Structure 1
Amino acid sequence: MPPTLAEVASLPQLGLRALTEMRADLPVRWVAVSELEDPTPFLEGGELVLTTGMRLTPGNAVPYVARLAGRGVSGLGFGVGVIHQVIPPELVDAARDQGLTLLEVPRPVPFIAIGKAVSRLLAAEWYEDDTRAFQAQRELTRAALRGPGPLVTRLARELDGWVLLLDPSGEVRHAAVAAEGPGRAAELARVRRRAAELVPDLARLAQESRTASITLSGKDDHVVAQGIGVSGHPRAFLAVGTAERLPRVAHTIVGSAVALLTLQSESPRTTRDLRSALAGVLLGLPPGGPAFPAAPVRVLACAGGAAVLDALGDDDRCLPVPLPDGAVAVIVPAGAAERVMALAHESGPVGASEPSGLDDLGQALHQARQALAAARRHRAALRYSDLPGQGLLGILDPALARGFAETLLAPLAADETLITSLRAYVAANGQGETAARALGVHRHTLRSRIQKAARLLGRDLDDPAVRAELWTALAVTASGTEPIGHPGH
């Protein structure tokens, strides 16, 4: 509510003094300074009018006050010491007779100071309204998560009145009253009976714009009704009733409730296509339609489970489904796969299939699972096409691979020179001359070391299969504590 005249008059810095009865409950909606004999054409009502009485005479004081009172101003402030040293008695008498509050403004107080003071009070009121609206919107949103019934109940409390949610025929879906205690049941029954009285007006509202609302005033309450929905005829109606007309902030709160109810009423429409497409798949029809992402698509296998579902939210480009092992598969348009992979990777490893058509999603899921198996070892996000780049090491079980490598190379563990020489020899594919140059030793020295390694290992190093095993074992041990197959190893 705007500040009252009593609040403004009580500000100590202004030093205002009431010369007639104070209408304490009158709101001051603005401050208007005017020296016109008739300023009413420029007023809306609710103003505190300030004047120095430049055109005031004993003869025009009565009609001057009558015009202001008839316009519905909150009060009249008269600045003394400029034109008149004291307020003319004719003006005081006229104000007293016509019930207009007359305030004396001391000479040192400029009119602009009064205007600024009222502006600050109005700004504080607007801020308070905005804060209340924000808090109410948050509470309504929290209630809406539990359904339209809790939202209607919360709205009735916020408005200190009653609320009805009605279907298009006027039948009550949900009803709530702010009243508590023994009289609550009777009030709720009265409100439900009130719904029948609203049906003709709701029918008229249904023929108007979807954004239209109607306001009705009865002997017991003031009612505002608005349609719910964004397409065609309203899918429901929201009616609220309060003892007094709704202030600005209350209209904002009602608007938030209408928006939330509209989202709830329209949400089944957003899933209708998906349910239809699912039915088609179950019937053996080709997948397609707006519910399916346009081919090509990728299938992602995500280890993050429920956290991935939370991260994806309501992105209708993604079709997620939980897998039996706790992972989540996501069908996503190929063009959006990189972004979704990065989002899902925040919750754990991710594997992605190659781009696929909608008729080959089973194979795509198989690829995604294979990629995820490799990605789990590195806590990475891998595409199926990345697996060949990981080489043989990328698909080995780390524990088994390290056990194999340590067992195979155990006879050489005490001689680092032999390990280094063998590594160079295997890397050169058994070419002694090339390996010797890489080590910076004579070829005869390298040959002697390789022969000794072969005896200790009990293996024929001229056999390509033996060299392959040794290459694997040496690569695994070179990884140390890092994941085997790590780039560079």
Structure 2
Amino acid sequence: MNHTAHALTVAGVAGLEGLHLTVEHAGSRMDAVIAAPHAAELPLPGTWLQGGEIVMTSGALLGTEPEAWAGYMGELAQLGAAGLILGIGPRAPLREVPDFLVDLAREHDLPLLSAPATTAFPHITKSIIARQVEAERVTVQDSFALQVRLTRIVARGGTVDALLQEWQRSTGEHAGVFDRVGRLLGKNPGLPAAAAEAIATRVRADPPALGRCKGVAVGGTPATMAVSPFAGETTVRGYLARCESGLSMADLAVPTLLSLLALEFERRWFLDEPERRRRAQRLARLLTLDDDTRARAFLRGLGVSASTLWGVVVEATSQTHAEVLLDDLAVVLGTPLLRVHEGLVEGLATQDPKRLLQEYGVDAPVGVGTAVSPAGAARTLRQARAALETSKRIGALVGFVDGAAHEFLLRVADNEYLTAFADAVLAPIDATANGDVLLETLHTWLAENRSVEACALRLGVHRHTIRNRVHRLTQITGRSLDNVDAQTEFWLALKARGFRD
């Protein structure tokens, strides 16, 4: 049971009206919260305790020997009992509380109370339960009142900061709100800046999944911060970090706070719609400019001084996911050129986006185009779309390789398929004497644009030797090396074998 402002403690039990209980030893645990009352006459109560109970006994089976009580008190302390109420009186085994029992309570720091013969254990049990029920009623009432106040703030257009300030005033909890990429969007005065930065780093590196809460130990705060995601539909929108106070009232109200934060994010999304349309229009306009001077001037007008652009295309899993990606990529890639087009999130990054996207951990197929000047924006986006198709198949970010389609194909194809393909194409040469020499000659001849002279110079042999080897290759493979299809297959097979220029 969590601590609440209204929870019944051992001190509260001692002060219950009409019970006439006496505190024989208080120690340091009188503020321990009572989970339940438990009356039992057993020599060892361990199997019936779960922790937090206030135990009642007359000691009928323990007698007056200190040894028996020593084992009993030790087990109570070990199992986390909140305290012990000893029934005393003329008809009880103990007419008064013996000194050795007070010493044992002091040794185990266990609160010890005594009940007179006029106070029956059932009466104590009823009084404790009635007080606990009342405490829970007040807790629920206070939590509901807090939820109403928070809802009223949102309904009146209040900010995230206003929500968190009311949260701190009502619960005493330091709290902050972060977006998916770790930006601090609001906090109450109790959250230190160092703690906010540490939480932002954790959110970026290891974000908790929807429906999960992670504890983050942060310097500068009195306790561990609990980081909980909140969502729009099924996609995480942001994170609430709070220094848990242990108040049941706060725990009951947290789901409402998370829902209101999600609602606030949705409201912001609709308010930002004009800006998103402007971003999409700017991107569409840039894609029509094929003159570098005009394209650069257009970017400067947007406050973008980059001379190189990279196309980025991401396949969102839903409309909500696309909305989230638009906001996230604007921050991650630092670009105002983004849009949702034909179900895809498209953008132009002003720096190489591969590392940034990998650190962000985008959980969807991603294609990246090559680096181009501003006039090549349309081309790099087309390349990114082509790379996206391969990314969907292999489940990883794929970057297009411009001017070397074979490298692009080799990078994304299955290794077993490549090996089988190379073996099938080059098998006749492999089976021939001096096949390794013929393979080297074929690779060099293709790399030198089928120039016999350049190939001979590079290999250090006579040009007639090269002509003879090319003729030999034609005979072995049964294919004309003047045929473009044959050249392409041989080139890809050689690259798959590891031949490099």
Calculate the TM-score normalised by the size of structure 1: 0.49
Q: Which has the larger radius of gyration?
A: 1
If asked which structure has higher relative contact order (CA below 8 Å, sep 6+), I would say 2
